[in-house]
C-alpha cells in the first residue's frame, strides 16, 4: 500500500464522516499501526474502519462515490444489509468499511449469510480517542486488551498475526 496515497484518502474519508457527524473507528491493522507505531504498518494492505450508524449507510456510500471511491466487494451484516470494500479511483489503497450490528456478546459484520468478516467483542464497546496523522479517531478500549486479543504479542513490531 502506498502510504502517501493512503493518508490522502484517509483524510477524504475522515472529512466525510465528520460532515455526516458519524463515529469513525479504526480497526485491526489500522488500529494497531495507529496505536503502537503512530503510522501505517509497513506491510499494511488496506485501511480498516468501522461504524455503528446503519441508518446513514446510503449517505456514506453517496459521499464516498462523489469523492471517487468505487465499491469493490460487498459484505452482509446481520440483517442482510450490505457494507463494502472501497477503492479510490486510480489508487491501490483499499478501505474496508465494516457496519457493525449486534450479535449477542459481540458486534459483527457479515460477508454472507453465515460468514462473519469482522467482529468486535462487546467488552471493547467503550472507545478512546486517538490522534492519527493529526486527525481524531475512535479505537476500541481498553486498547491494550483489544490488541492483545486480536494479535497476541502486539507490542512486538516484528510479529503481526493479522486476524489471529
Question: Tens digit of pLDDT for each residue in 86-129?
Answer: 666 556 688 888 888 788 888 877 655 555 667 788 899 899 99
Q: How many distinct structural domains can be found in the chain?
A: 1
pLDDT at residue 164 tops 50: no
Q: Is 61 within the bounds of a domain?
A: yes
Q: Is 101 within the bounds of a domain?
A: yes
Between helix 3-20 and helix 57-66 the angle, nearest 10°, is 130
Q: Is 25 within the bounds of a domain?
A: yes
Q: Is 159 within the bounds of a domain?
A: no
pLDDT tens track for 147-161: 999 888 899 877 655
Segments forming the whole domain that contains residue 127: 3-151
What CATH number is attached to the domain comprising 74? 3.30.460.40
**Residue 80: partners with Cβ closer than 8 Å, 6 or more residues away:** 113
pTM of the model: 0.85
pLDDT at residue 131 tops 50: yes
Looking up cell 479510490, which residue turns up? 88
Q: Is 76 within the bounds of a domain?
A: yes
Q: Is 160 within the bounds of a domain?
A: no
Q: Is 116 within the bounds of a domain?
A: yes
Q: Is 23 within the bounds of a domain?
A: yes
Amino acid at each position: 500500500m502506498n502510504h502517501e496515497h493512503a493518508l490522502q484518502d484517509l483524510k477524504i474519508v475522515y472529512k466525510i464522516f465528520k460532515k455526516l457527524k458519524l463515529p469513525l473507528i479504526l480497526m485491526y491493522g489500522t488500529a494497531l499501526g495507529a496505536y503502537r507505531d503512530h503510522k501505517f504498518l509497513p506491510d499494511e494492505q488496506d485501511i480498516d474502519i468501522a461504524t455503528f450508524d446503519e441508518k446513514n449507510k446510503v449517505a456514506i456510500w453517496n459521499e464516498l462515490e462523489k469523492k471517487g471511491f468505487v465499491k469493490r466487494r460487498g459484505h452482509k451484516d446481520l440483517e442482510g444489509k450490505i457494507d463494502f470494500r472501497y477503492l479510490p479511483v486510480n489508487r491501490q489503497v483499499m478501505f474496508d468499511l465494516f457496519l457493525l450490528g449486534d450479535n449477542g456478546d459481540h458486534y459483527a459484520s457479515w460477508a454472507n449469510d453465515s460468514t462473519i468478516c469482522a467482529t468486535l467483542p462487546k467488552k471493547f464497546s467503550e472507545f478512546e480517542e486517538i490522534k492519527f496523522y493529526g486527525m481524531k479517531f475512535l479505537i476500541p478500549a481498553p486498547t491494550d486488551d483489544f490488541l492483545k486479543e486480536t494479535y497476541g504479542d502486539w507490542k512486538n513490531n516484528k510479529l503481526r498475526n493479522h486476524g489471529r
